[in-house]
Amino acid sequence: MSEKVCSDHKDDRRKIARRCCAFLLIFNFILLLIILLIWAILQPKKPRFTLQDATIFNLNVSAPNVISTTVQVTVNSRNPNSNIGIYYDRLDVYATYHNQQITYYTVIPPVYQGHKDVNVWSPFIYGNTVPVAPYNGLALTQDQSDGAIAITVKINGRVRWKVGSFISGRYHLHVTCPAYIPLGNSKNTGIVIGNAVKYQLSQSCSPLGFPRFPETVKENLSDICYKILSRSEKFKLCLQIPSSSIDPEHHQSSRNWALRSEPRWAELDSDYESPLSSSAYSMPNQSG
C-alpha cells in the first residue's frame, strides 16, 4: 500500500514539473513574440555622429616624448528614430594619436535628444605637456613637416533609450571619429581664425556600444538555456530521461557557451568618473 502511495506522489510531482516547464516555454515564446513585434514597429537605429570641423590652436612637440595640444572640434549627433528618444547622461571627449591619448577628458553636459533631433557640440579638448611614447613624438613631428596629421577624436559615455514613458537602463557609448587634418593656412586646407586654423572635415563617425536586437535576443535565450541546464535534475525530470544519459561534458560545454554569451551591455554596478576632465565650452589657459 505504501509503495503505491509513493508512486502516486512521484507521478504527481512529475505532472507538476511538466506543467511548470510547459508554462515557462509558453511564457518565453509569448515574451519573444512581443519583443519581435515591438522591434518591428519601432525599428530602432543607432544615432549618427559626424565630425564637422577641427580648429587647431596648438599642436606642438616640445620634447621627443611630450606633446601639447589645444583643439576645438565640432561634432553633431542625429537621432534617426521616429519613436525613440535618447538620454546622453555622460559624454567624455578626448583625442588620440597612434592609439595613445594626447588630451585630457572634456565633459559635455547631459542632454536629451528627441525624435529626429540633431545636437551639435563644440568642446575644447586640450593637453599641456602630455607625456607620450618617444616614437609618437617623432612621428607627429614628421607628420607636421609632411603637411598632414591623422588624429582620432573619441567620445565615451552612458546613454538611455526612451520609448513613450519607458526609459531603459544605461548603456555604454563609444564613438570613434578619425580626423585627417591637412596642415597649412591656404584657403584650400584651412581657414585662419585669429591665432588658430579651422579645417572642414565632415567625417562620419562609428558609434559602438549600442545593443542590437538580434544580439539581445541571443543573450536572453542563452541565459534561459544556462538556467535550465544549471537545474539539471528538473531538466531531466521534464524530459523523463535517466541521469546516466546526460553527458557531463556536453553539459559543461553548454554552460560555457551560455557564459560566453552573457549580456555585454548590462549596466555597471557604479558609474565611472573620468580621471581628468575639463569644462566642455571654456577655453583653456595657455602657458607661455
- The pLDDT of residue 282 is 52
Contact criterion met (CB below 8 Å) for 276 and 254: no
Alpha carbon 212 to chain centroid, angstroms: 11
C-alpha cell at 89: 547622461
- The pLDDT of residue 34 is 83
C-alpha cell at 18: 511538466
Q: What is the pLDDT of residues 175-233, one digit of tens each?
A: 999 998 887 655 457 888 888 889 999 899 987 655 444 444 444 444 544 444 444 44
C-alpha cell at 53: 570641423
| 111-113 and 191-193 strand pairing | unpaired
DSSP classification of residue 276? S
- Amino acid in position 33: L
- The pLDDT of residue 22 is 86
**For the purposes of burial, counting CB atoms within 10 Å of the CB of 130, is it exposed (0-12), middle (13-18) or buried (19 or more)?**
middle
Question: Going residue by residue through the chain (288 aa), what tens digit of pLDDT does each one get?
Answer: 555 555 656 677 777 888 888 888 888 888 888 877 776 666 778 899 999 999 999 988 888 789 999 999 999 999 999 888 999 999 999 999 999 999 999 999 999 999 999 999 999 999 999 999 989 988 988 888 888 899 999 999 999 988 888 888 898 999 999 998 887 655 457 888 888 889 999 899 987 655 444 444 444 444 544 444 444 444 444 434 343 433 444 444 444 433 333 333 333 333 444 444 454 555 555 544
Q: Left (φ > 0), alpha (ψ -120 to 50) or beta: where does 229 sit?
A: alpha
Contact criterion met (CB below 8 Å) for 173 and 210: yes
End-to-end CA distance of the chain: 100
Stated as kind and residue range, the H or E segment containing 3 is: helix 2-42
Contact criterion met (CB below 8 Å) for 102 and 68: no
**For the purposes of burial, counting CB atoms within 10 Å of the CB of 243, is it exposed (0-12), middle (13-18) or buried (19 or more)?**
exposed
- The pLDDT of residue 83 is 85
- Residues 6+ away with beta carbon under 8 Å from 177: 49, 51, 73, 75, 152, 153, 154, 155, 203, 205
Closest Cα partner for 75 from 56, 57, 93?
93
Stated as kind and residue range, the H or E segment containing 227 is: helix 213-230
pTM given for the model: 0.63
- The pLDDT of residue 99 is 92
